[in-house]
A and B are shown apart, each in its own frame.
Chain A
């Protein structure tokens, strides 16, 4: 049985989501992935962050593959392993070969793993006392092994024992059966999702649905040798959105528990900053790409049209639907978010600690800063550290706040982005 994984993704146009094995998948770049992960790692002396980073991935890997095996009727162990390998590389996580694993676990090694490969290429080497950076793959694969052998969630333990970021030639993990179950919970899947149409504003000729559909048709295919997806000047992943949402929520909660409420502004600010990082690197790259020039640029008459054009792309990345019913200005933008992936996931939890999506605050203010402060609509810019500091660190140019939040009992998510 050979399955083309790319064809298994289900596009839900009215949810702005792209689902595989019951898990909404979202596109992000390596800069965002590392910023968010290192923000959590900073707290490693305050609480065991590995529990959050690995445990959350394990929950999702287990739920996803159990569901996917059931949907496709895959019972053979070899076929299950092949499917996991294929999903792993199709999503841009890298390359793994599971042949040497059995129901007791085993060793797994690869020279190509998204987090390790891109970290080693971007940042200084990690000191010897630090573990490797491949937390997500470690947990995801542990959950996948459990699903392959029909084991209960939390029955496989794992550790990373080598990493490209520490000078090793490959990433290596060890997986092993536990004599107790880790305290993990099944994934929230599609969460408390909502549906809406992608609104076509009358005040622009930017064809929202047409652009979304064109981006959905982009292959975003991994390199056949590395299993990594290089596009728009960054390295992309198609990662389960619940991972980002739940590690953010769980980190925030753990920090409140360990340090107290005075830590809240610091953690929230880091999550806002992750949105800036994402807007700058991923969306900045998109808005200067050949694909943008071909598909979107012909409809961009005014600077505001850039706002609408980039908003049309977000549902194709699986982030939810951005509704713009009032024209934006350089001073103010007030998008409504439908089925915003972070809210949808966290809303499925009982009594979450986050009452809004800080990532969205950073993302939408980052878009405004790129378009109006960096004047992307009239010039090509170099997306480097100098420009980043100018837009986001030497006084933020824009600030986003939630006027209404589904996580605070609101009917919908409404963000207000204002020039400062």
Chain B
């Protein structure tokens, strides 16, 4: 399973859209994340080295796409996938 870091994505979302956009996307993805053992705090305030399965990031990106019509830039995605 591929893992990614959420912090670069969160920072980009907060700067580009709004602080609430991240919270909203997390709430929308929370059900799936909790089922995979990732609690709310690890998504809301991810530490620099904390990683989550790629499917959780996909759920968050899907929410952002639906809410704001915005796609994550490739360079931010690259930052998130660098271990």
Q: Which residues of A contact B (CB under 8 A)?
A: 38-39, 42-46, 124, 127, 130, 259-260, 262-263, 266, 269-270, 273, 389, 393
Contacts and interface: CB of A to CB of B under 8 A. Distances in A.
Contact of B41 (A38, A39, A42, A262): A262
A45 B23 contact: no
Nearest to A259: B40
Given A43-B27, A263-B40, A273 B20 contact: yes
B18 interface: yes
B24 A42 contact: yes
B23 to A, nearest CB: 5
A269 B23 contact: yes
A281 to B, nearest CB: 15
Closest 7 CB pairs of A and B: A45-B31, A124-B69, A42-B27, A393-B18, A42-B24, A42-B28, A266-B23
B77 interface: no
Contacts of B61: none
A130 B24 CA distance: 16
Nearest to B40: A262
Contacts of B68: 124
A39 B24 contact: yes
B26 to A, nearest CB: 8
A259 B20 CA distance: 18
Interface residues of B, number: 20
Contacts of B26: 266
Given A259-B30, A259-B40, A263-B40, A270 B66 contact: no
Nearest to A46: B31
Interface string B1-43: 0000000000000000011100110111011100000011100
Given A42-B24, A45-B30, 5 more contacts: A43-B28, A45-B32, A266-B26, A266-B44, A270-B23
A39 B28 CA distance: 10
Contacts of B40: 259-260, 262-263, 266
Nearest to B62: A127
Contacts of B20: 269-270, 273, 393
A46 B69 contact: no
Contacts of B66: 124, 127, 130
Contact of A389 (B18, B32, B67, B69): B18
A195 B32 CA distance: 48
